[in-house]
Chains A and B, each alone.
Chain A
Amino acid sequence: MKQLFSLVLCALAGLATAAEFDYGLQAQPVAEGVYAFIGRNEDFSTANGGNIVNTGFIVAPGGIIVIDSGSSLRYGQQMRQAIARVSPRPLALVINTHHHPDHFLGNQAFAGTPLAALPATIDGIASEGNAFAENLYRLTGDWMKGTEVVAPSRALAAGHSEIAGRRLRLIALDGHTGADLAIYDEASGVLFAGDLVFNGRAPTTPHADLAHWLAALDQLEAVTREAGFTALVPGHGAVARDAAPIRQTRAWLLWLRGAMQQAARAGLDMNEVLALPLPAEFAGLPVAASEYRRSVGHLFPAAEQEALGAAQ
């Protein structure tokens, strides 16, 4: 009897969660006709369903330009509904800034709208997308229900581009991944930086090339110095009106690079590197401890090879 009762309880709990699956997406105005959905500064979990990412959209004369589509089919669907509550205009284009799953797994919800990305991003989604999706099923559970990988078919090139009657500057960079697209909307002065910039959250590094990433940050910071610049939408964390998140991301990456080199030269083994304390400057940053541990796995082996004198 007791068992039956707990079975019923479990079933009810399951139903309650299933009824929710609501990301609570609220379009946050960034500038005239420019909006962002701001995710939580957390790791993927069954509680947040993958809503740890920022996405956004621009209401252009010829329709809506969507920038990143979120972490699941449900996210994409709910994003689409949230966009429709802001503007009745048709969807013109969906752009994926890079090939990480929280930025493109909502693509499926935008069937019928052209999907676009840098060529290397399209390749990355096609080759690694399914493995990423599997991982998110594992991390977020039923929030992912029905989600399938849809790779963009339209390749974007760097430079100025007139999209749906809006002049966008497509800035092709790399360093966070092999291809990172930043988008500068010249009419509003809003810079969508993708995951090249994190704000108030430790950056992730599974595909990072730190030298390239640092160079990309310099380019983005130059954009923020332009007269028309008004706002920076990072890939994760709050919208900023200045370059502070760029400087924060740079500081983290420089520290991380130095810490890996120093540890390797000092002769530390990977377990000892994992156990190093975080400097006070970064220890309080959300998910700093877990991202540091991941980054050791991603970045220490190369620093170690260099310190051991291996021919690269």
Chain B
Amino acid sequence: MKFPLTIAAIALAALMPPADAAALQDSGDPLASARWGDMQKTVLGGAPVLFDPRVKVIAPSTAENPMQVPVTIDATALPNVQEVLVFADFNPIVQVLRFFPEGSGAYLGFRVKLQQSTPVRAAVRTADGVWHVGGTWVNTVGGGCTAPSAASASKEWQKRLNAVSGRQWSEGPQTGRVRLSIVHPMDTGLVAGTPAFHLEEIEIADAAGQRLMRVQTYEPVAENPVFTLHRGQVSGPVEASGRDNNGNRFKASIAP
């Protein structure tokens, strides 16, 4: 059964290219996931939802390594993005991360652990309170959330916990891009004998302390996370800071 679009969706559609507008829908999961109803209720709190092709979720259709599945969220085509929530319907821990693009574009690349084949989705909240949802199916052999981290096999990582390395690109096709990696086991707590131990908060700011992006990371983010973002118009060093769920803090400066 197809429901008519809400008034808000019709108004929105008038501003969009016809192909995108045709793909807008506020009911009927385009990924046909049996879990969608639960996702809308539990993850998005039953708020209004619009499946929106302007929310691009890029991930391989078949992921060779369920411990490191690359995901790129690009919602830069949407205006007034307040918050982006990334989740995977069939993961034992559904929520992957949440980010708030403040001075930066609504764009984030990272890698996740997946337990089985699942939709990976981004729900993007705009200022009007509507969640714009995009997503893609990722097929994988699975086991990503209940396999031990590489760090659990060696104590080497302890010396480098929360070590940040990163770089900015100021010329060429990737101008404005920032990439950073943080040493962390990101243990899910689903492996017997290994408690959950993961990064929780990351902030990216410019040299003047103006925040570019805030990221809340949950257990499914892959070990030794790597993030790709766009710093926007800012020049100069970028400051990364944050902490894990055990209160270990980090702070690092990424030179321009």
Contacts and interface: CB of A to CB of B under 8 A. Distances in A.
Interface string B121-154: 0000000000000000000010000000000000
A274 B173 CA distance: 17
A231 B252 CA distance: 56
Contact of B169 (A138, A267, A309): A267
Nearest to B141: A138
Q: Is the interface of B mostly helix, strand, loop or mixed?
A: strand
B179 A269 contact: yes
B172 A266 contact: yes
A28 interface: no
B35 interface: no
Interface stretch (A70-78, A156-164, A253-261, A297-305): A297-305
A145 interface: no
Interface string B181-201: 101000000000000000000
Contacts of A307: 167
Given A307-B167, A309-B167, A310-B181, A270 B174 contact: no
A307 B226 CA distance: 12
Interface string A279-311: 000000000000001100100010011011111
Contacts of A267: 167, 169, 172, 174, 177, 179, 228
A301 B167 contact: no
B62 to A, nearest CB: 8
Contacts of A135: 141
B173 A266 contact: yes
Contacts of B167: 267, 307-309
Contacts of B163: 310-311
A271 interface: yes
A305 B179 CA distance: 10
B139 to A, nearest CB: 12
Given A308-B167, A308-B180, A270 B173 contact: no
Contacts of B181: 304-305, 308, 310
Given A297-B65, A308-B181, A269 B165 contact: no
A271 B69 CA distance: 9
B68 A304 contact: no
Contacts of A272: 72
B136 to A, nearest CB: 11
B72 A311 contact: no
Nearest to B65: A297
A294 to B, nearest CB: 5
B251 interface: no
B109 interface: yes
Q: Is the interface of A mostly helix, strand, loop or mixed?
A: helix
Interface string B70-96: 111000000000000000000000000
Contacts of A7: none
B228 A274 contact: no
Interface in B31-68: 58-60, 64-65, 68
B64 A270 contact: no
Contacts of A270: 70, 109, 111, 226
Given A304-B226, A310-B181, A271 B109 contact: yes
A297 B59 CA distance: 13
B160 interface: yes
B103 interface: no
A294 B60 CA distance: 11
B227 to A, nearest CB: 9
A88 B226 CA distance: 59
Contacts of A271: 58-60, 70-72, 109
Nearest to A266: B174
19 contacts: A135-B141, A138-B141, A267-B169, A267-B172, A269-B70, A269-B109, A269-B179, A270-B70, A271-B58, A271-B60, A271-B70, A293-B64, A304-B226, A305-B165, A305-B181, A307-B167, A308-B165, A310-B163, A311-B165
- Closest CB pairs A-B (n = 5): A270-B70, A267-B174, A310-B165, A269-B109, A269-B228
